[in-house]
Homo-oligomer: A and B are copies of this chain.
Amino acid sequence: MLLNNALQHSHELMARALKPGDRALDATAGNGKDTLHLARLIGSTGEVVAVDIQKQALDNTQNLLKKENLINQVQLIEGNHAQIDKLTSGSFQVAVFNLGYLPGGDHEIITEPESTLRALKKVMPMIRPGGLITLVAYHGHPGGKNELTALEKFLPSLDQKKVAVLQYSFINQAGDPPVLFALEVLEGADYLDP
């Protein structure tokens, strides 16, 4: 395919935003695919902080990163990303959210609009100017539409002098393909305090 899907485009943007030695946050470790991509980009001198509320997700992520010999540059944290300020500190060049349920896990456990927005608002001030937040919203499951709607309502309200918000989506496809939102914290802007 010529056109990247939402996940591929998010990975391309991460690659553009990160260099070796940077610090990145995976706010939804899931099965570790984003963590792996981030770990490759920041290299052995950087750090990825990977958070998930489900132990199974962190186990899967740990196994994947060990297999790829990249676990040394990854810190795994079990906890609720809506309390990210209590789980980690410092600043990040990139933060990543993958919204929905854990593939292969319990489909009843999903990210919820309120905690997603709370997490996002806490992550925003942690991102360095010039940095990036990606959110890929899988909205085909029950509750997924609510989360997408909450993002579509909140994100346009962000100050364009501080952040640029891109929406990237396929508009003629059945099966609710994921939607990408990419937030670039502008150079010269202060840290974001929504």
A residues apposed to B, CB below 8 Å: 1-3, 13, 16-17, 130, 132, 152, 155-160, 163-174, 182, 184, 186
Contacts and interface: CB of A to CB of B under 8 A. Distances in A.
How many chain copies does the complex carry?
2
A102 B155 CA distance: 32
A37 B36 CA distance: 36
Nearest to A180: B168
Given A2-B13, A2-B16, A13-B3, A170 B164 contact: yes
Given A157-B172, A158-B172, A172-B157, A164 B17 contact: no
Given A2-B17, A130-B2, A160 B172 contact: yes
A58 to B, nearest CB: 29
Contacts of A169: 166-167
Given A1-B184, A3-B184, A16-B2, A166 B170 contact: yes
A155 B172 contact: yes
5 contacts: A1-B164, A2-B184, A156-B171, A156-B172, A165-B172
A171 B157 CA distance: 9
